[in-house]
A and B are shown apart, each in its own frame.
Chain A
Amino acid sequence: MNPASLPKSPPPEPKDVHVLPGPTDGSAFTGAAMGQGNITEIHDTNPLDVTLPYHMQPRVEKATHDAQLQQFVNSATLSKDRARKRICLEAFGDNYNRMRELGGRIKQHTLDHLDYYLEQFVTNAAAAGAKVHFAETTDEANGICLDIARKCGAKLCVKSKSMVTEEMHLLPKLESIGVETVETDLGEFILQLDKDAPSHIVQPMIHKDRAATARAFTRELHVEYTEDPGKLCQIARNLLRNKYRQADMGICGGNFLIADTGTVVICTNEGNGRLCTSAPRVLVAFVGIEKLVPSLEHLGVLLKLLARSATGQPLTVYNHFMTGPRRPDEHDGPEEMHIILVDNGRVKTLKEETREMLRCIRCGACLNTCPVYRKIGGHAYGSVYSGPIGAILTPMLKGLGNYPDLPHASSLCGACYEACPVKINIPKFLIQLRRDQIKQKITRWPDRLIYRVWAATLRNSLTYRLGGWMQKWMFRLQARGNGSLGRAGSDPYASRGWLSDAPGPVKSWTRERDMPTPPARSFRQWWDEHEKDKKSKEA
């Protein structure tokens, strides 16, 4: 998209829209079933179904040239990042840091004793009447779910948001045995219509706008074209109500598991999570094993941090605590409750050096604050988990060799560490992974050679000076070549020139960036003269 054709005004300020209730029997819909329209905008394959090893470059390039995408991502993440800071300071004040510390310690403690807490959870959940299953791989997790679906004769399954099920592409598998599946989170619902995939942990369709939504609705649901978000919501509400009513199976994720009560907790703003877990006869919750916390009291600390860090709300609108299926005297709720505890690379990540990564409570604050995420969007990370946490977690869960670029998708500015409510030291892990890459020889030999030379140069003051001097003159020659030296206008670096088209291995680096060449006088020279000056003044 040509940036010049973009409207100059900022995106509209969010204003309240109230959805009016409509028919719940599906009578508003005359069109065919979902997913049978003409293919215009829909993806052929899930964008996160990438070929491995995954290289970021093509998607990064596409994203950095997509001004509209950048505008969406930028405005959404910036406003959330500001809201987080404001509400966290307001609520915790000077204790903000200590609160994050406490949140981190609670999660770390649980992970350190995960065997104990898992056993405790299984006992208590079973005592409440839930069936707990374990899955080592995504295939195993899918298999369990298909078994449950077959046994209960499921025809229609409603699903609320769950990152774990995104890891395993569950829905196509259910469809393949004849179960109709419907995503009910509004964002996920729209993505499902386009066969698209989430690009943000908390705001899944951050990369789409109302026009794209309107097109998807007209194409797939055969409704009159409208870009009014309130009307679009109403259409979705009415359609989905009908689905809740008919569904025989509900699928959800789990934000937390409480070891000493056997409870699964989900946090949603829309209420679709409560409906998916209350209306159908059979409930299946998919949860990663790292979601455990010892007790409700400990959960409380994390709840106080979660929504404030994610969206700037004091609490998520609905925190739903589910302990076992419906009791004999209750009128509603699922008759069967299954909990599938998923490994899929987590046990491997539990080793001491990387355990801290599993503290993550998926608040998305590190994405919102990350200058790289804002520039390249979520799909560039090629996996369900994007942004800073994705850059470290994906290589752990799926293999460093499969995602060699991710540890480099960061400027190491440290903003993610500052934002993280459980204090995961993301920059430390980025560096650790880079080091592992060199050790495991995943990095290509020319790069390894450059790092070697670089390291040797930095080790000795003479070679450092020589290297700096050579770099300066090479950059300048290059700048003279591209005519940026002495460039007129408001360019403050005109006298030095810009490096914008470097040769050899630096070429790909300068394809997206310009860099001013080093100044005539280096810092060291300036320092030496400054010291000399000072001494002569003192004398």
Chain B
Amino acid sequence: MKGHLGADPAEFIARVRAALGRSRTEPAPPPPAVDETIARLARPSDDLVALFEKRATLVGMKVRRIKSADLTREVLAVLESVSARRVVVGVGSLPQALGLKESIRRKGIEVVDWQAAPGLDTQYDTDAGITDVHAALAETGTMICNSDAGHSRGLSLIPPVHIPLVRASDILPDMLDYWARIKGKRGRELPSSMAFITGPSKTADIEGVLITGVHGPGAVHVMLVEDA
């Protein structure tokens, strides 16, 4: 490997090998099998929408179960309730198809063009971020937001309110199902950033008092679209 600083990688790994009592690296035998009867906590036969709603609510997110026809109205209602003046919207089939940006603009709310300049700077003074999700997990009420050209890392992180749009078809039962979906991808085949989000930003560092919104969003309003 070129361009490294510090210790020589080959020598370093040779010391590891010596500590393990080997003189050359052998391929590892198969790792322990992940026994689904122990590790699986949600099944395809579960009512995934209900389970996701329950778990997401338990960790402090607000979940609205809605039809796609009502999505725009519901998003606008949340924006109004937090007096949003500037918002950022991620690229995705759901917001695009519904013309979400146009409807928001018509309400007099500014939709900031976060793609106009590189970096996160355009997002710091916004009031809400709207994104779709790559997948969701019923097991823990988790949403998976991955970075790519249309998905900034900041959208689900920087504005004080995050509004994720989750389709019923995005919901997988268990984390194990997500690993199965991306199995075999490595290095650049994976996004540079994958975020599993389970709740609003939280801290309990000061005397164990639970405080939300310490660095990331303090409120997460999930739009759970049942017919999409």
> Which residue of A19, A99, A110, A185 is within 8 Å of B38 (Cβ)?
A99
> With an 8 A cutoff between CB atoms, is A316 at the interface?
yes
The answer to whether residues A144 and B6 also contact, given A15-B210, A72-B207, A278-B120 and a CB cut-off of 8 A, is: yes
Contact B206 A213 (CB under 8 A): yes
> With an 8 A cutoff between CB atoms, is A366 at the interface?
no
Point out the residues of chain B lying under 8 angstroms from A300, CB to CB: 34, 39, 175-176, 179
Point out the residues of chain A lying under 8 angstroms from B13, CB to CB: 115, 118-119
Chain B residue with minimal CB distance to A72?
B207
Residue-wise, chain B 154-187 has the 8 Å CB interface mask toward A (1 for contact) of 1001101000000000000001100100110111
> Which residue of A18, A125, A272, A347 is within 8 Å of B215 (Cβ)?
A272
A262 to B1, CA, bound (A): 15
Point out the residues of chain B lying under 8 angstroms from A295, CB to CB: 31, 179
Point out the residues of chain B lying under 8 angstroms from A532, CB to CB: none
Chain B residue with minimal CB distance to A131?
B3
The distance from the CB of A218 to the nearest CB of chain B, in whole angstroms, is 15
The answer to whether residues A184 and B215 also contact, given A14-B204, A245-B121, A333-B193 and a CB cut-off of 8 A, is: yes
> With an 8 A cutoff between CB atoms, is A164 at the interface?
no
Q: 9 A-B Cβ contacts within 8 A?
A: A15-B209, A113-B28, A115-B16, A127-B187, A148-B5, A240-B215, A295-B179, A304-B39, A331-B152
> With an 8 A cutoff between CB atoms, is A508 at the interface?
no
Point out the residues of chain B lying under 8 angstroms from A114, CB to CB: 16, 20
Point out the residues of chain B lying under 8 angstroms from A333, CB to CB: 147, 153, 192-193
> With an 8 A cutoff between CB atoms, is A351 at the interface?
yes
Point out the residues of chain A lying under 8 angstroms from B125, CB to CB: 24
Stretch of A322-330, A375-383, A398-406 on the interface side: A322-330
> With an 8 A cutoff between CB atoms, is B35 at the interface?
yes
What 7 additional pairs, Cβ within 8 angstroms, besides A241-B124, A315-B196? Answer: A92-B38, A109-B31, A190-B205, A297-B179, A298-B34, A300-B39, A332-B154
> With an 8 A cutoff between CB atoms, is A486 at the interface?
no
Contact B207 A229 (CB under 8 A): yes
Contact B149 A133 (CB under 8 A): no
The distance from the CB of A246 to the nearest CB of chain B, in whole angstroms, is 10
> With an 8 A cutoff between CB atoms, is A504 at the interface?
no
> Which residue of B37, B179, B208 is within 8 Å of A11 (Cβ)?
B208
Most buried by A among B41, B60, B205: B205
A190 to B205, CA, bound (A): 9
Point out the residues of chain A lying under 8 angstroms from B214, CB to CB: 19, 186, 233, 236-237, 270-272
A binding-site residues for B, Cβ under 8 Å: 11-12, 14-21, 24, 72, 75-76, 79, 91-92, 95, 98-99, 102, 105-106, 109-110, 112-119, 122, 124-129, 131-136, 140-141, 143-144, 147-148, 184-187, 190, 203-205, 209-210, 213, 229-230, 232-233, 236-237, 240-241, 245, 260-263, 269-272, 274-275, 277-279, 289, 294-298, 300-301, 303-304, 311, 313-327, 329-333, 340-341, 343, 347-348, 350-352
The 7 closest A-B pairs by CB, nearest first: A271-B216, A127-B187, A113-B28, A187-B205, A321-B194, A319-B196, A271-B215
The distance from the CB of A330 to the nearest CB of chain B, in whole angstroms, is 6
> With an 8 A cutoff between CB atoms, is B67 at the interface?
no
The answer to whether residues A316 and B198 also contact, given A270-B203, A272-B215 and a CB cut-off of 8 A, is: yes
A348 to B204, CA, bound (A): 36
Point out the residues of chain A lying under 8 angstroms from B153, CB to CB: 274, 278, 332-333
Contact A115 B31 (CB under 8 A): no
Chain A residue with minimal CB distance to B41?
A91
> With an 8 A cutoff between CB atoms, is B22 at the interface?
yes
The distance from the CB of A252 to the nearest CB of chain B, in whole angstroms, is 12
Contact A237 B186 (CB under 8 A): no
Chain B residue with minimal CB distance to A273?
B215
Contact B202 A270 (CB under 8 A): yes
Contact A314 B124 (CB under 8 A): no
Point out the residues of chain B lying under 8 angstroms from A79, CB to CB: 208
Contact A294 B28 (CB under 8 A): yes
A343 to B7, CA, bound (A): 10
The distance from the CB of A24 to the nearest CB of chain B, in whole angstroms, is 5
The distance from the CB of B216 to the nearest CB of chain A, in whole angstroms, is 3
Contact A19 B216 (CB under 8 A): no
Chain B residue with minimal CB distance to A325?
B192
The distance from the CB of A297 to the nearest CB of chain B, in whole angstroms, is 4
Chain B residue with minimal CB distance to A117?
B28
A12 to B118, CA, bound (A): 45
> With an 8 A cutoff between CB atoms, is B55 at the interface?
yes
Point out the residues of chain A lying under 8 angstroms from B21, CB to CB: 352
The answer to whether residues A315 and B142 also contact, given A229-B211, A270-B201, A323-B191 and a CB cut-off of 8 A, is: yes
The distance from the CB of B153 to the nearest CB of chain A, in whole angstroms, is 4
A466 to B194, CA, bound (A): 68
The distance from the CB of B10 to the nearest CB of chain A, in whole angstroms, is 10
The distance from the CB of A234 to the nearest CB of chain B, in whole angstroms, is 9
Point out the residues of chain B lying under 8 angstroms from A141, CB to CB: 6
Point out the residues of chain A lying under 8 angstroms from B195, CB to CB: 274, 318-321
The distance from the CB of B23 to the nearest CB of chain A, in whole angstroms, is 10
Contact A320 B194 (CB under 8 A): yes
The answer to whether residues A102 and B39 also contact, given A128-B190, A297-B176 and a CB cut-off of 8 A, is: yes
Chain B residue with minimal CB distance to A328?
B149
Point out the residues of chain A lying under 8 angstroms from B12, CB to CB: 134, 136, 341, 343
Contact B7 A136 (CB under 8 A): yes
Point out the residues of chain A lying under 8 angstroms from B59, CB to CB: 313-314, 317
The answer to whether residues A140 and B149 also contact, given A14-B208, A240-B215, A269-B203 and a CB cut-off of 8 A, is: no
Most buried by A among B17, B121, B200, B213: B213
The distance from the CB of A285 to the nearest CB of chain B, in whole angstroms, is 13
Most buried by B among A12, A112, A297: A297
> Which residue of A21, A113, A203, A297 is within 8 Å of B205 (Cβ)?
A203
A425 to B65, CA, bound (A): 47
> Which residue of A102, A113, A204 is within 8 Å of B34 (Cβ)?
A102
The answer to whether residues A304 and B32 also contact, given A116-B26, A131-B4, A278-B193 and a CB cut-off of 8 A, is: no
Point out the residues of chain B lying under 8 angstroms from A301, CB to CB: 34, 39
A321 to B187, CA, bound (A): 12
> Which residue of B4, B25, B186, B215 is within 8 Å of A270 (Cβ)?
B215
The distance from the CB of B163 to the nearest CB of chain A, in whole angstroms, is 15
Point out the residues of chain B lying under 8 angstroms from A213, CB to CB: 206
The distance from the CB of A276 to the nearest CB of chain B, in whole angstroms, is 9
> With an 8 A cutoff between CB atoms, is B64 at the interface?
no
Point out the residues of chain B lying under 8 angstroms from A327, CB to CB: 148, 188, 191-192
Point out the residues of chain A lying under 8 angstroms from B208, CB to CB: 11, 14, 75-76, 79, 203
Point out the residues of chain B lying under 8 angstroms from A275, CB to CB: 157-158, 215-216
